[in-house]
A and B are shown apart, each in its own frame.
Chain A
Amino acid sequence: MAGTMAQILVENLTKTFRVAKRRAGLWGALTGLVHRTYHDIPALAGIDFTIEASELVGYIGPNGAGKSTTVKILSGILVPSAGRCEVNGVTPWKHRLQHVQNIGVVFGQRTQLWWDLPVVESFEVLRAIYRIPAAVFQKNRTRLIELLQLQDLLDIPVRQLSLGQRMRSDLAAALLHGPRLLFLDEPTIGLDAVSKLAVREFIKMLNREDGVTVILTTHDMDDIEALCQRVMVIGRGKIVSDGSLAALRATVSHERRLIVDLVNAQEIVEEPAARIVERRGRRVELAFDPREVSPAHLISRIAAKHAIQDLFVEHPPIERIIADLYAKHGELEV
């Protein structure tokens, strides 16, 4: 029975925040001393999904869409206004101590390690906090240190680590107690290319070999492309898409972008197969449909007419996809 039950079950999850209105200026501040008004902010408008064990799910959406609200509820530190949620069979906010014993959470922006302590000592404190048996701790610790290349970092205080080193240490810290479920919030933000690759490789391996369920919240589309079989898109408190990334793109548009840096900034670019999105000095951004003209063909056509300093092909940014998603479903600005 345990094998067939979803690890995460979310039903009609709703959350509304009440925020006090702030008034502008000195007079506003004075009157604010006496009387305050509030307005309601709907963060989650009833979302549903299930996640099976060992899935690697990307959870994306624009800022303010409800991503961190969802993650907070799933990790047990926020109570929803309505709806049902079960993780590993328990309701997170009702059984906090039991629930957090079995999950790991990494915030990209904030470390959980003790600022002034060497990394290895932070691990020791976490061992005491999570009550990890000595043998288990030794095994996990040794393995994580090796996988994340932390051998040379262990005696360095966390405040002296580079961002990439800190992120790897935070990943290890979150996994010392062997959780079956890992939440990652912006794990590659601000990292250099080498560190990003290392972190992605680690997450992939963790999910594939150890079967750890991973929920990844990020703005980095490369993270999503490299890691996630499944992508959930949240927009304005609702799940607007749930499936593979390719399927997501395909439902919205096939459009790709070609960005060209010309040698001569004065040249005018005319291309019937593509639409000019933006023109800034020597940089030209073109939108095209790869079903009508292949990227290689388009590039050669432009290169034939202009001297090119640099070029790259990309997908439209995630915000564009979401916006197009709304346009497709006919939803208007609230």
Chain B
Amino acid sequence: MGIGEGLKLYWLYVKLSVRAQLQYRAAFLLAALGQFLITGIEFLGVWALFDRFGRLHRWSLPEVAVFYGLVNCTFACADALSRGFDQFGVLYIKTGHFDRLLLRPRSTILQLAGHELALRRIGRFVQGLIVLIWAASVLNVEWSFGRVSLVLFTIFGGACLFFGLIIVQATLAFWTTETLEIMNTLTYGGVESAQYPMAIYHVAFRRFFTFVVPLACVSYFPVVGVLGIADPLGSPRWFQYLAPVFGILFLSACLVLWKWGIKHYTSTGS
């Protein structure tokens, strides 16, 4: 019962999901376009503010754009994988279909992750990528092996973090059968705030997003490392390169919480 076997099953789920979505090509393209627009207008806001104010303390528009682009790409990855979780209450708990998942000899996390690979999230990913590429070209970033690895590591660690948050959101559904949007503060709210460098926020806010939900570790610190600038918050370069690992650790903690949620569910029934 190893990871390899689990991945094999997951790959089967992915193939089925992708095929089903591409069957309705027009609907998929429209959905992706809609995603692209609704997420892209956020950058419109960023651009408009910079157009009017010129600068944000020591940060220029292209620098902020790197923060923006990277967190959007990161979140899009997690968002695409987690449809089974963020609709968990409605699709599985209310309908009683979660019982069926428990009746199968596989991990519930794996089965829920396999629910759908939401291709339309590519809309957010594409606009994030466009912004990121534009910013990198304007800033003349030298793409060394180290920098590229850091970007990929950041996306991976960040996707783990957001995936963990979405799993916590699903875990709450065991208690309330109504997906609490309080978690949206951390997922969508997290994305919104990470689009700007964490340094501009209130110190309590920064602390929360570094030590409780390590969002800064998968956005602010690594991006400072990628930009190669001195961190106004004073972190050392090695930490900036290491920080995304906290996203992975956070995910592990969230999985423990999920197991606890299942225990509650099987004690109280549906």
Question: From residue A137, how far is it (CB to closest CB) to chain B in Å?
Answer: 14
Nearest opposing residue in chain A for B13, CB measure: A125
Among A118-157, those with CB < 8 Å from B are 121, 124-125, 128-131
Hey, which chain A residues are within 8 Å of B13, CB to CB? 125
- Decide if A253 is an interface residue (CB 8 Å cutoff): no
Q: Are B20 and A116 in contact (CB under 8 A)?
A: yes
Given A112-B100, A117-B16: A129 and B266 interface contact (C-beta under 8 Å): no
Q: Which of A103, A114, A128 contacts B8 (CB 8 A)?
A: A128
Given A17-B269, A128-B8: A105 and B96 interface contact (C-beta under 8 Å): no
Q: Are A75 and B20 in contact (CB under 8 A)?
A: no
Cα–Cα distance between A266 and B155 once the two chains are bound (Å):
82
Hey, which chain B residues are within 8 Å of A18, CB to CB? 268
Nearest opposing residue in chain B for A72, CB measure: B269
Among A7-64, those with CB < 8 Å from B are 15, 17-18
Q: Are B96 and A78 in contact (CB under 8 A)?
A: no
Q: Are B104 and A129 in contact (CB under 8 A)?
A: yes
Q: Are B267 and A79 in contact (CB under 8 A)?
A: yes
- Decide if A264 is an interface residue (CB 8 Å cutoff): no
Cα–Cα distance between A110 and B98 once the two chains are bound (Å):
12
Hey, which chain A residues are within 8 Å of B269, CB to CB? 15, 17, 69, 72, 78
Q: Are A100 and B268 in contact (CB under 8 A)?
A: no
Given A78-B269, A116-B20, A121-B16: A96 and B106 interface contact (C-beta under 8 Å): no
- Decide if B9 is an interface residue (CB 8 Å cutoff): yes
Hey, which chain A residues are within 8 Å of B1, CB to CB? 97
Cα–Cα distance between A125 and B1 once the two chains are bound (Å):
17
Given A72-B99, A128-B9, A128-B12: A93 and B106 interface contact (C-beta under 8 Å): no
Q: Are A110 and B100 in contact (CB under 8 A)?
A: yes
- Decide if B207 is an interface residue (CB 8 Å cutoff): no
- Decide if B130 is an interface residue (CB 8 Å cutoff): no
- Decide if A101 is an interface residue (CB 8 Å cutoff): yes
- Decide if A323 is an interface residue (CB 8 Å cutoff): no
- Decide if B229 is an interface residue (CB 8 Å cutoff): no
Nearest opposing residue in chain B for A111, CB measure: B100
Nearest opposing residue in chain B for A68, CB measure: B269
- Decide if A235 is an interface residue (CB 8 Å cutoff): no
Interface majority SS (helix, strand, loop, mixed), chain A:
mixed
Nearest opposing residue in chain A for B104, CB measure: A129
Nearest opposing residue in chain B for A114, CB measure: B16
Q: Are B266 and A100 in contact (CB under 8 A)?
A: no
Hey, which chain A residues are within 8 Å of B111, CB to CB? 129
Q: Are B266 and A79 in contact (CB under 8 A)?
A: yes
Q: Are B103 and A105 in contact (CB under 8 A)?
A: yes
Q: Which of B9, B16, B96, B99 contacts A129 (CB 8 A)?
A: B9
Nearest opposing residue in chain A for B108, CB measure: A96
Q: Are B103 and A75 in contact (CB under 8 A)?
A: yes
Q: Are A97 and B105 in contact (CB under 8 A)?
A: yes
Cα–Cα distance between A311 and B105 once the two chains are bound (Å):
51
Interface 1/0s, chain B 230-258, versus A by CB < 8 A?
00000000000000000000000000000
Hey, which chain B residues are within 8 Å of A105, CB to CB? 103
- Decide if B102 is an interface residue (CB 8 Å cutoff): yes
Q: Which of A17, A69, A100, A117 contacts B104 (CB 8 A)?
A: A100
Cα–Cα distance between A110 and B267 once the two chains are bound (Å):
22
Question: From residue A286, how far is it (CB to closest CB) to chain B in Å?
Answer: 42
- Decide if B97 is an interface residue (CB 8 Å cutoff): yes
Q: Are A100 and B8 in contact (CB under 8 A)?
A: no
Given A112-B100, A116-B20, A128-B12: A93 and B105 interface contact (C-beta under 8 Å): no
Question: From residue A91, how far is it (CB to closest CB) to chain B in Å?
Answer: 13
Given A17-B268, A69-B269, A112-B100: A130 and B105 interface contact (C-beta under 8 Å): yes
Nearest opposing residue in chain A for B12, CB measure: A128
- Decide if A76 is an interface residue (CB 8 Å cutoff): yes
Could you tell me which A residues sit within 8 Å of B by CB distance?
A: 15, 17-18, 69, 72, 75-79, 93, 96-98, 100-101, 103, 105, 110, 112, 114, 116-117, 121, 124-125, 128-131
26 A-B pairs with CB atoms under 8 Å apart are A15-B269, A18-B268, A69-B269, A75-B103, A76-B102, A76-B103, A77-B99, A77-B103, A77-B266, A78-B267, A79-B266, A97-B105, A100-B102, A100-B103, A101-B105, A110-B95, A110-B96, A112-B103, A114-B16, A116-B20, A117-B20, A125-B12, A128-B9, A128-B12, A129-B105, A131-B105
In order of increasing CB-CB distance, the 9 nearest A-B pairs are: A101-B105, A77-B102, A79-B267, A97-B105, A79-B266, A100-B105, A128-B9, A100-B103, A112-B100
Give me 15 other A-B pairs in contact (C-beta within 8 A), A18-B268, A69-B269, A79-B267 excluded: A17-B268, A75-B103, A76-B103, A78-B269, A93-B266, A96-B105, A97-B1, A97-B105, A98-B105, A110-B96, A110-B97, A110-B100, A112-B103, A117-B16, A129-B111
